[in-house]
Amino acid sequence: MAEDFYLPNGYSCSDELNLPDSSYVIMKIGSEDRCNYLIQRAYAITSNVILLHSIDRYSYRLELNGTYYNLKSRGKDDFDDFLGQIPVEDIYIDLTSLEIYELPRLIKGFNGRKRILCIYAEPKNYITTDIESSESDYELYETHSEISALPGYSIVRPDNNYNFVPILGFQGNRLTYMSESLQALEENTYPIVGSPGYKMDFGFICISENRRLFESRNIVRNLTYYPANAPFRIYRMLKKLSLRTKMSIVIGLLGTKPQALGSIIFAIKNPGKCELVYDFPNKRESSFSGIGKIYVYLVSDMWDVIDSVA
């Protein structure tokens, strides 16, 4: 496992969500146990819960004190007006309930203007499938859409001269679909497995679920392991790869939300050198159950630290 020995974790971890009572928290209403817990707990702590309402993958609305603010992935929106309604320095963003493609606009918008802290609650269990025709034991998503870059995070890929970094999840068909769509060179493909995972065996499950592509393409040689809950270590891996190869990076966002957070930070800090690709899956009902550890990531506190550590 690759590690940065001197890199601080950059997070706090607890069995319950604890926030100051003056906190402003951006969240969505969800059906999972962990989403329900977080939003109920947030409302019990503070009156400043900001609800995010999805419109489509490119736009959404933030609801604060009965007023709605329209946000877009690109172009002019109401972000500055919304920002003016936040009188405190800290802003909390709930990774658990928000979609991956909703995060870059918020993180980039708040960066340098508020102190960003991101909340994430691990699931306690992943529910195995009872679908007989399934090739996987973990059908966490019903369908996926076309592979495309998140708005504002695409690059020109000249003659396959780029690194492809897929961050792996439990559904190998998603990796196969993304890999076939991108046609990245085997020698430039660097898969990441989240290990240690939320449970000790999750890393092994991830490898097993993606074994078909590993067997058909020679990409195991570049396989690396990073903790599933460590966004800043993902960032460091991406930076080191960029410096070593002098090539742009295409990141496949198939893993955990904390891993996606590290990738998004890298893309924001390296404009024009990084592409974030996603397959926009539709989550299957009851894919996850229970509530594991709850993390609060100190994004703003780590923003410069992650570049200064040797």
Tens-place pLDDT, residues 74-123: 889 999 999 999 999 999 999 999 999 999 999 999 999 999 999 999 98
Across all residues in the chain, what is the average pLDDT?
A: 88
Would you say residue 43 has pLDDT above 80? Answer: yes
- The pairing of strands 162-167 and 294-297 is unpaired
Helix (H, G, I), strand (E, B) or coil at 8: coil
pLDDT at res. 309: 63
Amino acid at 184: A
Residues 249, 238: contact at Cβ < 8 Å?
A: yes
Task: Report CA-CA distances (Å) from 111 to 90, 108, 114, 213.
Answer: 11, 5, 6, 37
Query: What does the pLDDT average to over 231-260?
Result: 95
CATH code at 131-285: 3.40.50
> How far is it, in rounded angstroms, from Cα 129 to Cα 127?
7
Write down the domain spans for the chain.
11-125+290-308, 131-285
Whether the bond between 196 and the residue before it is cis, its omega within 30 degrees of 0, is: yes
Instruction: Indicate whether 164 pLDDT > 60.
Output: yes
* Rounded Cα–Cα distance for residues 51 and 19 (Å): 17
Residue partners of 35: CB distance under 8 A and separation at least 6: 28, 29, 96, 97, 121
Residues present in the chain in total: 310
Residue type, position 91, single letter: I
The rounded Cα 293 to chain-centroid distance in angstroms is 17
Smallest CA-to-CA distance from 252 within 125, 162, 126 is with 162
Q: H/E element holding 177?
A: helix 172-182
Q: How confident is the model at residue 194 (pLDDT cuts 50, 70, 90)?
A: confident
pLDDT at 131 > cutoff 70:
no
pLDDT of residue 2: 44
Q: From CA 14, how far away is CA 181, in angstroms rounded?
A: 40
Q: What is the pLDDT of residues 198-225, one digit of tens each?
A: 666 777 788 888 877 777 787 888 989 9
Report the C-alpha gap between 110 and 96 in whole angstroms.
18
